[in-house]
Each structure stands twice: as structure tokens, then as C-alpha cells.
Structure 1
């Protein structure tokens, strides 16, 4: 039978690496502490603290459970291989190969976590899509991007809160704001920040000419329990407008004057929400989004100050084109930072954008290692 010793050694090495990047030792020490806190009878007297404790305990249990399951699976595969070799039982070879292939797949999925190095990578994500140059085509393109991310989030098992949609003048949308809730949502989505370019035969051109449209994506970490950046918002700095909700329609849009738009006058940052049932709830959500944006602005300022002190010149990515989606004259989606590309735009636009997110994380780690 085939000698799978080297394959099993490689899996054992990957298990050791997982123990390191999952910080299994720290998790095992933290687990009983969290269990003690979670069992306190007065835990829910402080609801924010209770949510943080129970959320952290769930994550610790999930990570330890995943690591322990992989450990048992590697042990079982090694035992089966050793038994088959000792007994000369070739009939077990397909079962061993299947176990090795399954473990490789599971490690590939797990190893994505090793790419998350940012402080807020585990947080939820506030996302905005805005149409850009290209008229009606860009508004249609913005709606296509919104659908792509909603489909991706659905496939990932994330919850999505669609807070605001502004309808386009003829088709599509002018803008949309949504929150993706789930572990590593921000870590995965942060690489989508920037300008996205679409090239296709325009469905709005009677002469069927090729058009180029642009739309931008903004992503902010949304961690209601985060305290790394304190943001004080003065009510005098705000302009609050209420209006009748409008947008792409459907269950996400109200028909009362409950929508709220908040403008932070000193920075010009605008947030809005029209998805909640009441004006008060819409205002609360818009204020939460504003606080997240202002916190991100402060983090960017601090990063810029540190870069200036260090003498580094880092490209600002807000206005730069990061990815091209070409539907005509050929079929291709290419990320201009990582050079990762695929030849099936339809799948990408249907939510299969995960490989681009992973390639960005690997590219970012390589860039960070070069800088260090």
C-alpha cells in the first residue's frame, strides 16, 4: 500500500502551527475564567459586560473545540495508517487517503485565521457602496456590488442589517449602507475598500456600446464594545434631518417619515438609517455608525502621524482603483494590488468573492513582512 507517512507528518506540522496561531495555551487558561464569570448570578446586571463575556466564551469554546477535533482526526488517521501497514491491509488505503484529503481541506479553511492580524479583524463591519463616474451605469453597478456582498455574506452565514438604500435616478442605487455581523466580518471585508471598475456592454445604451462604470466601497469596523478609541460627539456639531424612506424597495424600506440623516458638520461625515421601525431607532443606529466612522478617522490620523514620524510614505487607498470586472470584450475579474484574477465574473458577482479577500490578506501579510 502507499506510504502516507510524509503526508501525515505534514498534517501534524500544520496542527502544531494551528496551536500557535490559535493561541491554544492562552485559550485553555482563559476558558475557566470566563466560565466562572458567565456563571455569576449578577452577570446580566451589566448587559454590555455580559454580552462581551458570553461572546468571548463562545469564541473560546469554538476555537478549542475545533482544535481538539482536528487533533483527534490527525491521531485517528495516524493510527489507521499504522495499523494498515502493520497488517498489510491494502483495503484501508482509500479510507486513509480520504481522511488525509479531508484534513487538508479543514486545515486550509482554518489557516485563513492566521492571516487576521489586525486589532479589529474579529469585529462586525459597516459597509457602504457609492455609485461614481458613469451615470446610470455606475448606479446599476453599485447595486450589483451590493448584491454581490449580500450574497457573499449569506453564503458565509453572516447576518446582514441593511440600514439605508438610496435609489438611483433611473436604475440601480446611489448608495447603500449595511452592517455585516459575524466573527471576522471586518477582517474579511477590509480589503474590499476602494474603487471598483466595471467594463461591459451597457444595457442602457441603445447602440450597445461598451461602457466603463465606477463605484466605491467603504468599510469600517463596528465593535460596540471596543474602547481603543473614545469618541465624544457634541450634539451642537450635528445636523439631523428626517425624511421619508426611499430606496430599492421591499421589506427593507419604510414608508413613513422615520428615516434619519445625520451630518457631522466638522468632518462632513454623513450617516443615515431608514431600516428601523421608528425615528428614534433610526437615529440611534445612525449615531452608532457615525461613532464608528469617527473612531476609524481617529485611527487613520494616528496611523498617519506614526508613518510621518517613521518617514514612511504610504499610499492612501481611498481613491485608488483596486479591482476591475471586465465582462466585454473578454471575461475577467482582476485585483490590481495582488494580481489575483479569475475568468468567471458571473460567479464573483454572485457572491464568490472570498478568494479575492483571501488573496488580499496574504498580500497584506507579505507586505507587512517586507516592511518589518
Structure 2
């Protein structure tokens, strides 16, 4: 069995070598040394925007070097285990665990290497809306919300639920949340579009098969280093009582805030915070992010404009189908990737779909 593990590790070593060449530790080490000189300058902190940008770059470079060191350490550990195995020690289970852990890390890093877009490294703001179909679609939208929250948890990302509008019987009418983590936006771009569910409805006494739809939209969260011109006269601000998921303050005061940007029709809501002021502040951050993405789409003159991504949530427009009856399968209609373990996907294991989408996107750019 050790021989089989050696063969498996030989193939993995080639990928590790490629990744270490891609990370090119000498270059970020030199860049980090230059940044440390800037950080040591007391004048840096008088410019909050510049210091924020530099500290973010510093962390990125530190993460690159930490990753390179982690790869090297794992290789050394595995080599040591193989040496012990050749000496007659029973370390097969340890070897299998170390190789499996290294493989997961390599797959994650390979996926990140596909992210080179202008905003791919940023946090993400994700919004889910149910399609037509009332309770059935609203329940499906709620299932998607749980799936993405579980995905973020698996990635070690932090999530903040900004707005949640519950359905009348079950599920939800809409939800918006922020995902804080390295490359959150780049990874979640694969999820933009309409998601289709086929199942025996738990809300149908006749136990008939139903098809439900929900749309997912993702935009990058931008910071103060990017200027977005928003005129006060273009905004309509409404306040209302919070509803749905939250703490003791829910439904007690008009703390929730909804902001409509009249020229574009973009609407954002936030009810996560206890105070109206903080909810307004958070809503403005979301609005700036959505307007920034809106303007980027116009500048790129892409075939898919932001409003066009809000297709009719109906047959023919879906990017992915989740079939629970009469068979069990999740299929991505863009990449043709299929996964039979539906429960695992709904519990947040989206890596096969994300990776395939990013590979397809890179192929389209190179074509």
C-alpha cells in the first residue's frame, strides 16, 4: 500500500512544484521588504486611504509567503513519513492523511491561481431572490441561502446577514449578505444566475413533483480607496421595522433602511444592526459596491449587462439544476459538471462547480 501512496504522491509533487513556481517566493519577499519600510514611516498613518491599501497588500504578501512555507513543510513531513515506512514503521495512516491534506490544499491553491480579475480578491455581497411560485420558490431560496452560508463556513470566511425578508408561510422573499474572505468575490462569480430545483414538494398534499427557481447575484465589496460618485438627490431613503432573523431589537423600532438609487433603479436594504444610523451606513456601502459593478459592466461593454443578469426566473435561463426527484443529481449547464451527492452540494460543497467555471472562464479569455 505504501507503494501506491508513493505513486499518488509523485503525481502530487509535480503540482506542488508548479504552485511554488507560480508563488515565486523571492519576488513577494522583496516586495514585502519594501512595504515594511513604508509601514515604518510615521507619516503613512496620516493618510488613512493609503495606509489601508498598503496594509492590505502587506497581508496579501505575508499570506503568499506563509503558503509557500506551508507547502515546503508538508513536503518535508511526507518525505519523513516515507523514510520511516522504508525502515519498517507502520505510518500508512499518517501518510494517507498528510497526502490527502496536501491534495486539498493544492486544489484550493490551483483554484485561486485562476483568479486574476480586477476585483476577484475582494469580499462579496450576495443577493438571493425567489422566482415565481410562492412558497415553493421561497423555500428554495432559503435552501440556497443556507448552502452559501455553509460554503463560506467551509472556506473559513466570515458572513454578515445584511437583510432578510421572510416568506409568509415558509422560506424567504429575499436575502442579502456579505462574505468576508480572500477571493470571496472571484470564487462566487460562478454562482451568478438562476438556480433550478426539481423535487416532490413538501407543501403539496398530493405529493406532486414541482420545479422552482431562484436567482443569485454577486457584486464585489469596494472600500474607500475606490471613488464612486453618488448624488444625494438621486437617493430615496425609506425606514421600516426589521423583520425575520435577528436579535431582540427586531420589530421594535424603525431601524431598518432601504435605499433606492433612482437613476439605475438599484435597491439595497439593511436591517442587521440595532441602530438606524449603522444600517444606513451599511446600506450605503452595499449601494456603492453595486453601483461600482454596474459602471464596470458598462465600461467593459460586455454582452451581459447587470440588468440582463436579472433574467426572467423561469425555464431556460438557469445556470444549474438541482434534481431530487425522480433521480438525484446537480448539473451545471455551462460547464456540464455533474455531482450525484446532492446533499453534500446543498451543505456547501461547491468546489467542483466553482473550479470548473473558473477554468472555463480562463479558456474563454485565452480564446
Structure 1 stretch displaced more, 112-121 or 38-47: 38-47
1:95 and 1:248 map into 2 onto residues whose CA distance is: 44
Do the aligned partners of 2:160 and 2:178 also contact (CA within 8 Å) in 1?
A: yes
Task: Give the C-alpha shift of residue 182 in structure 1.
Answer: 0.6
Structure 1 stretch displaced more, 159-168 or 38-47: 38-47
Equivalent residue for 1:335, pick from 332, 335, 343: 332
Residue of structure 2 equivalent to 1:271: 268
1:135-154 Cα distance to aligned partner (Å, 9 max, x none): 11111111111111111112
Q: Alignment partner of 2:132: what SS?
A: coil
Q: Alignment partner of 2:335: what SS?
A: coil
Equivalent residue for 2:257, pick from 247, 257, 260: 260
CA RMSD of aligned residues (A): 3.0
Mark the runs of 5 or more structure 1 residues left unpaired by the alignment.
none
Q: Alignment partner of 2:178: what SS?
A: strand
Do the aligned partners of 1:126 and 1:180 also contact (CA within 8 Å) in 2?
A: yes
The normalised TM-score by structure 2 is 0.86
1:328 and 1:95 map into 2 onto residues whose CA distance is: 39
1:276-308 Cα distance to aligned partner (Å, 9 max, x none): 221121111111111111111111111226x79
Report matched runs for 1:15-54 at 5 Å. Answer: 15-54=16-55
Residue of structure 2 equivalent to 1:344: 341
Change (3 A) 1:282 1:153: same
Residue of structure 1 equivalent to 2:296: 299
Task: Give the C-alpha shift of residue 76 in structure 1.
Answer: 6.2
Do the aligned partners of 2:257 and 2:283 also contact (CA within 8 Å) in 1?
A: yes
Residue of structure 2 equivalent to 1:55: 56
Report matched runs for 1:1-372 at 5 Å. Answer: 2=3, 10-11=11-12, 13-74=14-75, 89=87, 91=89, 94=92, 98=96, 102-227=101-226, 230-250=227-247, 253=250, 255-304=252-301, 317-319=309-311, 320-369=317-366, 371=367
1:361 and 1:253 map into 2 onto residues whose CA distance is: 40
1:93-151 Cα distance to aligned partner (Å, 9 max, x none): 95996565554443233222211121111100000000112211111111111111111
The normalised TM-score by structure 1 is 0.85
1:185-211 Cα distance to aligned partner (Å, 9 max, x none): 111111100001111111221211111
Instruction: Give the length in aligned residue pairs.
Output: 358
Do the aligned partners of 1:254 and 1:277 also contact (CA within 8 Å) in 2?
A: no
1:79 and 1:25 map into 2 onto residues whose CA distance is: 26
Task: Give the C-alpha shift of residue 56 in structure 1.
Answer: 2.2
1:7 and 1:331 map into 2 onto residues whose CA distance is: 31
1:125 and 1:64 map into 2 onto residues whose CA distance is: 25
Structure 1 stretch displaced more, 342-351 or 132-141: 342-351
1:247-304 Cα distance to aligned partner (Å, 9 max, x none): 2455694631011111111111101111122112111111111111111111111122
Do the aligned partners of 2:49 and 2:225 also contact (CA within 8 Å) in 1?
A: no
Structure 1 stretch displaced more, 180-189 or 200-209: 200-209
Do the aligned partners of 1:173 and 1:248 also contact (CA within 8 Å) in 2?
A: no
Change (3 A) 1:164 1:80: closer
Task: Give the C-alpha shift of residue 225 in structure 1.
Answer: 4.4
1:102 and 1:359 map into 2 onto residues whose CA distance is: 21
Mark the runs of 5 or more structure 2 residues left unpaired by the alignment.
312-316
Change (3 A) 1:190 1:344: same
